[in-house]
Structure 1
Amino acid sequence: MYTSLFRVLSLFLIFLTVTSCKTETKESPKKSQIHSSTIEYATGFDLIQKENNTQIIVKTPYPNSKETFTYTLGSGANDIKTPIEKIVVTSTTHIPVLELLGKEKTLVGFPHTSYVSSEKTRALIDSGLVKELGKEQSLNTEVLLDLNPDVVIGFSMGKTNKTLTTVEQAGIPVIINGDWLEETPLGRAEWVKLFGALYHENQKADSLFKVIKNNYLEAVKIAQEATTKPTILSGAIMSKDVWNLPAGESFVAQYLKDANLDYLWKDSKGKGSLSLSFESILDTGKNADFWIAPGHFTSKEQLLESNPHYAEFTAFKNDKIYSPAIKKGKTGGTLYYELAPTRPDLVLKDIIKITHPELLPNYELTFFEKLE
């Protein structure tokens, strides 16, 4: 998936209305089920271990959904048979999860393979082991059916998608992954446990998440040792003179809070993005110490070509602009969009290194680079 900090996900796929291994309900799972869940931070799914099967309960399959989907993994006639041996995923954010579990070789198809940044998975693509499936919104059904994967992992902006309905009708299970709708960094990362269940690698997935969680929480503690609290500007004008930036209750704002920073729009409402005028941003953020993630721009020259008034910001004058959009794979995919949801600990450390460099003297930036 090719997205950005504030685009939060314009490429999302698929929601299927009927499947033999999926149950739709209008109500939340029973409390007895929730009590048996092993999920700590994610709010969009539960993982229920039962005697003869495992249930994946996706509570937020698409924005504003009132439906809950239950996928049963087991040996029953209508269950998804596991451990799976062949998989199709539809977002680059799923690639690092497969690699962390050591299951990247089970990937047989992917839409827009040029977006994949990982060298390990790129090698599989280049060798012909991962087939190109076209665009996310109109997958090449013929190729996908020929691949005959054990499961397709999709994501959805709404209720219908004819392409994957066809896939389901052909007997290939589809699971809707709602990780991108999580509202906290650790909530997003915890979806590794869903993939762990598919491969019978629950213990490994639990251990991976535990390491990421502990690293993240340790970074939060380190940030609290800072003796200053720099002010933060974010976003940029993306279209029609409207400046888009994270709302105060968004997962991006949570990163800035956890890094012990003063995000100037921290008190704004909303979990997505804000759309404000340039004048409003200039009035509030002109003297911000740092400008983190200036949209899709990758140089100061690009900023000025787009709008010469960007030069009025103190962070521009002082060369304090940092972007995650610069580091790309060899075919143009952006590392941040692929790996960041799975490794929020590294995102947080990057932000701490940029704004409190004395706290992480030996750490090197993973995602962000300074705009030159």
Structure 2
Amino acid sequence: MKRFFLVGLLWMALAAVGCRDSRPFAVEDFTVERYTPRYASGFDIRSREGSVSSLITVRNPWQGGSGEVQYLYVVRDGEPVPAGFPGQVVEAPVRRVVCMSSSHVAMFDLLGEVERIVGVSGIDYIANDYVAAHKLCGEVRDVGYDSNLNFELLVAMRVDLVLLYGVAGEDTAVTNKLRELGIPYIYIGDYVEESPLGKAEWVMVIAELTDRMEQGCSLFDATCARYEALRDGVKPGQRPRVMLNTPYRDTWYLPSADSYMVRLIEDAGGAYVCPEARGNASHAVEIEQAYLLTNSADYWLNTGAANSLQELVRQNPRFASVPAVRNGRVFNNNRRQTPAGGSDFWESGVVHPDRVLADLIRIFEGRSDSLWYYKKLE
């Protein structure tokens, strides 16, 4: 009799747990802050009281995406999905991931979790050593780009999650097909962050997906400490004026004064030549106006595909008379690139803004030695 009594109590306890876990709940119930960004503006991670699962909320993950909100529910211990949940669902830790941006690859690599990546977009443009070493044996596959994704390959690869990259909005042809196939996805909006540390902080989303939150916090804290020490150590004085980019056909696209790149320049002690360009998108400037700005600059950075001053001048002979060219103060961010032309600056530089800042400080101090991402054009 005692035995049956104990068994009955056990069943009652299990039933109580089952009832508790199966109660309907909604997005609004995720009130416990699991991770609140210090610099990034595009995401947060929350949990419910007493739950080990979490909700990743992504806001405005592309330029002009004001008001856009996406949700990814990260399930642990078989906990139920919120009633009427409007987003995507994935089980942690994710094991087989596709990265549509090279910066996503760098985030996994920083955490020591790059082996979870089974697919990328534009594999020949990825600088990561693991991807380069495993593309030939087929352990990492190229899944295509934009609307030309190889959906049959994604299904065959048994992908747990696709990390998407949005330029001007959601690609509904892609997301509708992924939903149809039952493949979870989420847009990662690191590229629209204006703060260099905010861009790097998206590594915490990957840390949450791979159950590496503690390690992610430690690595990000170290990056912040190095960056802030470099920034605070810049000597006060006259700020050199800096021009960016090169023309594309008849238009010169300049970043906003609020952008990631301009923030780096300012933190390194420089001054942007076009401070009136505001907003969250690049600005199209006519060639003549841009040429005048270039003539007013002490330094010229990020010169596209140019690997020498001669190549730069071939684009426009007038560039030969630009002060930055005459004074040998032209630097390009393509020191580390793949044979196909993929730039590690836009890959690992996203999670190592301290390295980028160190390069710029050396450049503005008149030193071109020991640069990591940049090289002086000769």
TM-score (norm 2): 0.83
Distance 1:284 1:130, change over 3 A: closer
Structure 2 contact 33–45 (Cα < 8 Å) conserved: no
Give the number of aligned pairs. Answer: 340
Instruction: Report the CA distance between 1:301 and its aligned residue.
Output: 1.7
**Are the aligned partners of 1:326 and 1:368 in contact in 2 as well (CA < 8 Å)?**
yes
Structure-2 change in CA distance of 1:275 and 1:170 (3 Å) = closer
Q: Does 1:297 align with 2:306?
A: yes
Structure 1 stretch displaced more, 333-342 or 139-148: 333-342
Q: Could you say if the C-alpha distance between residues 33 and 365 of structure 1 is closer, same or farther in structure 2, counting changes exceeding 3 Å?
A: farther
- Return the alpha-carbon distance in structure 2 between the equivalents of residues 87 and 220 of structure 1: 35
* CA distance in structure 2 between the partners assigned to 1:227 and 1:127 by the alignment: 54
Give the whole-Å Cα distance in 1 for the aligned partners of 2:138 and 2:273: 48
1:303-344 residue CA offsets vs partner (Å, 9 max, x unmatched): 222110111211111111000134312443211121121111
Does the alignment pair 1:278 with 2:287?
yes
Measured in 1, the distance between the counterparts of 2:205 and 2:273 equals 36
Q: How many angstroms apart in 1 are the aligned matches of 2:179 and 2:294?
A: 50
Matched residue of 1:153: which SS? strand
Higher helix share: 2
Cα distance in 2, alignment partners of residues 245 and 172 from structure 1: 37
Task: Give the 3-state SS of the residue equivalent to 2:98 in structure 1.
Answer: strand
Give the corresponding residue for 2:56.
56
Q: Quick check: 1:145 aligned with 2:155?
A: yes
Q: How far apart in 1 are the matches of 2:125 and 2:276?
A: 35
Indicate the SS of the match to 1:239: coil
Aligned letter for 2:41?
Answer: T
* Aligned counterpart in structure 1 of residue 332 of structure 2, from 309, 323, 327: 323
Report the secondary structure of 1:80's partner residue.
strand
2:165 is the alignment partner of 1:167? no
- Give me the whole-angstrom Cα distance separating, in 2, the residues matched to 1:104 and 1:32: 29
Q: 2: distance between equivalents of 1:34 and 1:219?
A: 34
CA RMSD in angstroms, aligned pairs only? 2.3
1:181 is displaced (CA, Å) by: 1.4
Gaps of 5+ in 2: 1-25, 82-88
Alpha-carbon distance, 1:69 to partner: 1.4
Aligned to 2:74: 73
Check 1:233–1:204 CA distance in 2 against 1; reply closer, same or farther (3 A cut).
same
Contact kept? 1:249, 1:272, Cα under 8 Å:
no
- Comparing 298-307 and 191-200, the one that deviates more: 298-307
Change (3 A) 1:271 1:334: same
- Given the superposition, is the C-alpha separation of residues 59 and 289 from structure 1 closer, same or farther in structure 2, using an over 3 Å criterion? same
- The aligned residue for residue 7 of structure 1 is none
Choose from 319, 334, 337 the match for 2:343.
Answer: 334
| Correspondent of 2:221 among 195, 210, 213 | 210
Checking the alignment, whether the CA contact within 8 Å between 1:96 and 1:339 is kept in structure 2 is yes
Contact 2:32 2:47 survives alignment (8 Å):
no
Query: Matches of 2:370 and 2:244 in 1, distance apart?
Result: 22
Ranked by relative contact order (alpha carbons within 8 Å, sequence separation 6 or more), the top structure is 1
User: Alpha-carbon deviation of 1:273?
Assistant: 2.2
Q: Deviations over 1:273-298 (max 9, x none)?
A: 23223332333441422111123322
User: 5+ unaligned residues in a row in structure 1: which ranges?
Assistant: 1-24
- For the structure 1 residues 333 and 236, does the alpha-carbon distance in structure 2 shift closer, same or farther, using more than 3 Å as the test? closer
2:111 maps to 1:110: no
Select the residue among 263, 269, 276 that pairs with 2:278: 269
- State the distance in 1 between where 2:94 and 2:284 align: 43
1:1-372 pair list within 5 angstroms: 33=31, 37-50=35-48, 51-52=50-51, 53-65=53-65, 66-74=67-75, 75-78=78-81, 79-156=89-166, 157-223=168-234, 225-240=235-250, 242-357=251-366, 364-372=370-378
**Who wins on radius of gyration, i.e. which is larger?**
2
Shift in Å, 1:89 = 1.1
Secondary structure, aligned partner of 2:290:
helix
> Whole-Å Cα distance in 2 between the matches of residues 55 and 113 of structure 1?
30
Residues 222 and 314 of structure 1: CA distance in aligned 2, closer, same or farther (over 3 Å): same
Give the TM-score taking structure 1 as reference length.
Answer: 0.85
Amino acid at match of 2:37: I
% of aligned pairs identical?
A: 26
